Structure 1
């Protein structure tokens, strides 16, 4: 089917007015709000850090010094590599991967129950209870987690009262609060894609597997998970990308030694005032996340079209 036929079918299905509005809205969202800012950021990352009066002048040429700084560090440094920034970069990606796996483990059973349960009213109540906490601002939720996991917070007070510990546990320094806050912040983005796919799974397939003597884990491994793979991939992609690019939660819930790569980017843009270097670091983070996501999709044999269903 050629492009002309696709557009013809699209306008026949949606009408001229609604179809045109949807196309304009999508193009505005993709081109104006995503592609052009990213291209501008990419161009900025190859520029010298110059005072405003010199921008656009003869000194405003292209360079790769900011990317070299991320890898090699400042000229004349004691080490041959920028161990600080590269270490933070690696820890950020590893932590985002951990948060993604944590959310998947927590959300898959719940999504399966919501998708396969027959209790309509009760299920709608559960979904509503999941959504209501997200009416609160993300920053307020992060501060709430800091209070809960603090030295005199709810968790420590309960454990002290029950005699489980003798001294408060520093959940902030141990990054427990950070991982819990990040996992909670994006948990709905993992639940609903999986739920939407599992809801359409024919229950007769599960019953047939049970009748043939398949165990619980084998039913999920051979029937449910392969069917839900597009939803799982979609949820994991969104949680990983947002966790790696998070800023508010690491700023509020992170311990003294839990620097996030986005915090370094923020410092270059604001405190350091070096926008080209901040842009270079941001581009590296974006490219790394895209490469990791595409690599995982290839590893698990998931196509982009499957995620978009």
Structure 2
């Protein structure tokens, strides 16, 4: 009679069978290679730090600084994109074009003036809103109010710009309201003027002013105002001596953001502005919209605006920093 021959049991077969039932990522996590890499990285704090900062550094270098460096490089070329068999040459002519005609310097200066004035106007309009939200709305309701204020910013720049166009049109809500009040007989041409462009940019940049101001004002302890009131300071004196100085950090951040963003708007000036409100972004875009070797000139103009805007904001931040130190003293 044949005897049953059982398969010999090898030690470790059970563990191997159990491991085969794990999901794919589970098998990788328990593999020797993965364990070795994990031990190599996480047993050293220095290697952990390098791994942690490598992704942000990679993003900043290649997604932010990379295009800017490329734009600077293109601005010194005599032709771009280069033709087949042609080697681009380095030149400063693209930068010199900016200073050759007033048709280029006028929109440049207009853009800086617009951005400066509108930054100040946005600050004046939004500061009371941020103050009311931070100091007069209950803390549990502040998030709800913020969400309500942020609703218009859930859509893109173009949609919000068209909303301004609908508001200011000849048959828009503003003209209809003025006509209903008996203040006008015919529509006022608000569109394609400095007023329409200013209103549009202030509307689009208000969020970038609101959030830094709200954050700075919300951090001011209430007992500071109470102490000032106990010392006899009235509401206006408390604002000038306590609230405003302690919120200068938010003012600096908000004004910097609004100014830099305002200098770079393109779609909004095209849709809301007119011939007398041409901004520098439109001039720059003109070089990229034509055929030929005009891209280097557009890149040079972009670099000029970038350098000027950063220099002005640097001076502004330096001034505000010294002002804050003076208030602390």
After TM superposition, the score normalised by the length of structure 2 is 0.79
Structure 2 CA distance for aligned equivalents of residues 246 and 90 of structure 1: 15
Q: Mean Cα displacement is larger for which, 190-199 or 219-228?
A: 219-228
Distance in 2 (alpha carbons) for counterparts of 1:196 and 1:257: 38
Name the structure 1 match of 2:57: 27
2:136 & 2:256 partners in 1: Cα distance?
A: 26
Which of 270, 273, 281 is matched with 1:262 structurally?
281
Deviation at 1:299, TM superposition (A): 2.2
**Aligned with 2:307 (options 287, 303, 306):** 287
State how 1:127-146 maps to structure 2 within 5 Å.
Answer: 127-146=146-165
* Corresponding residue number in structure 2 for 1:115: 134
Counterpart of 1:91 (choices 85, 93, 110) is 110
* Backbone CA RMSD of aligned residues: 2.3
Structure 2 gap ranges (5+): 1-41, 324-329
Change (3 A) 1:192 1:165: same
* 2:239 paired residue among 196, 213, 220: 220
Question: Who is 1:68 aligned against?
Answer: 96
2:297 alignment counterpart: 277
The alpha carbon displacement at 1:187 in A equals 0.9
1:3 aligns to what?
none
Work out whether residues 250 and 260 of structure 1, in 8 Å CA contact, stay in contact via their aligned partners in 2.
Answer: yes
**Following TM superposition, by how much is the alpha carbon of 1:22 offset from its aligned partner in structure 2, in angstroms?**
4.6
Q: Distance in 1 between matches of 2:94 and 2:114?
A: 25
**Are residues 33 and 302 of structure 1, via their aligned partners in 2, closer, same or farther at CA, if it must alter by over 3 Å?**
farther
Quote the Cα distance in structure 2 between the aligned partners of 1:84 and 1:15.
55
1:40 to 57, 67, 70: 70
User: Which has the greater radius of gyration?
Assistant: 2
CA deviation digits over 1:220-260, x for unaligned, max 9? Answer: 22211221111111111111000000111111111232111
- 5 Å matches for 1:203-218? 203-218=222-237
| Unmatched 5+ stretches in structure 1 | 1-10, 73-81, 304-309
Who is 1:8 aligned against?
none
Q: Larger deviation: 133-142 or 236-245?
A: 133-142
Displacement, 1:206?
0.9
Asked whether the 8 Å contact 1:172–1:254 carries over to 2, the reply is yes
TM-score, normalized by length of structure 1? 0.84
Residue 166 of structure 1 and its aligned partner are, at CA, apart by: 2.1
Deviation track 1:90-113 (CA, whole Å, cap 9, x = no partner) reads: 001110111111111111111122
2:193–2:276 Cα contact (<8 Å) kept? no
The alpha-carbon distance between structure 1 residues 133 and 170, as it changes in their structure 2 partners (threshold 3 A), is same
Q: Does 1:297 align with 2:317?
A: yes
Runs of 4+ in 1 over 3 A off after TM superposition: 14-17, 19-22
Tell me how far 1:20 sits from its aligned partner. Answer: 5.3
Partner of 1:79: none
How far 1:134 moved relative to its partner? Answer: 1.1
- Compared CA separation, residues 15 and 113, structure 1 to 2 (3 A): farther
Out of 73, 82, 103, the residue aligned to residue 122 of structure 2 is: 103
Go from structure 1 to structure 2 and tell me whether the alpha carbon gap of 1:220 and 1:272 turns closer, same or farther (over 3 Å shift): farther
Cα deviation for residue 300 of structure 1 reads 2.4
